[in-house]
Amino acid sequence: MLGALLTFSGSLEVLMDVEPNGPIEHKCDYSEDYPVMGFLQLCADRRFHSCLQNQFQKDANLDSAQKYWIHADAGGTPAMAHLTTAPDYCYHTKGVKVMGWSAHGDGCGGFPGQPDERIRQALAATAQEKVKAYPKATHFVYFATMIKEADAGEMVLYCMKYDKTAE
């Protein structure tokens, strides 16, 4: 199946022809088409994204993960400064008023070998550019990391809020 998919990646019809019983269809839960209310950029690292999403939802007062876009890649915001299609779309076309920017320490695949402090500084610098680029939004900036104790670790999340609309 995988070999066929890789060989005949051109069209779904070809895939269905080579799979005798056709593709397996899964039903997903129906989701209401909510208006886009927010935007959150984050590292793809499995350890931190649910923690970041939960905090962003609290801060942005969004009761569902389906009410905002996420934009994830290795390194999060400081490594994604040039990727503007998604945030531009959410801000300019969809009019989001709440935006989140983030990065994490404790070893990030987007910043191999870099210490937490360096990533944190890069996040702060990029976040300042984003605050200027999207001036009408309220911005939350998050840095997540692990604090390691003797035999246990604890995840901590540092949050900053920039509310330009209050100025």
Q: Which residues bind Zn ion (CB under 5 A)?
A: 43, 45, 108, 110
Is the Cβ of residue 59 or residue 73 nearer to Zn ion in the bound state?
A: 73
Is the Cβ of residue 41 or residue 57 nearer to Zn ion in the bound state?
A: 41
Shortest approach of Zn ion to residue 105 CB, angstroms? 9
Is the Cβ of residue 38 or residue 75 nearer to Zn ion in the bound state?
A: 75
CA 167 to chain centre: 27
How far, in Å, CA of 33 to CA of 139, rounded? 24
Pairing of β 98-104 and β 138-148:
parallel
Side by side, the strands of the sheet bearing 153-163 are 68-72, 38-42, 98-104, 138-148, 153-163
Shortest approach of Zn ion to residue 55 CB, angstroms? 16
Shortest approach of Zn ion to residue 117 CB, angstroms? 15
Is the Cβ of residue 43 or residue 52 nearer to Zn ion in the bound state?
A: 43
Can you give the C-alpha Rg of the chain in angstroms? 19
Q: Any idea what DSSP says for residue 92?
A: I
Shortest approach of Zn ion to residue 149 CB, angstroms? 22
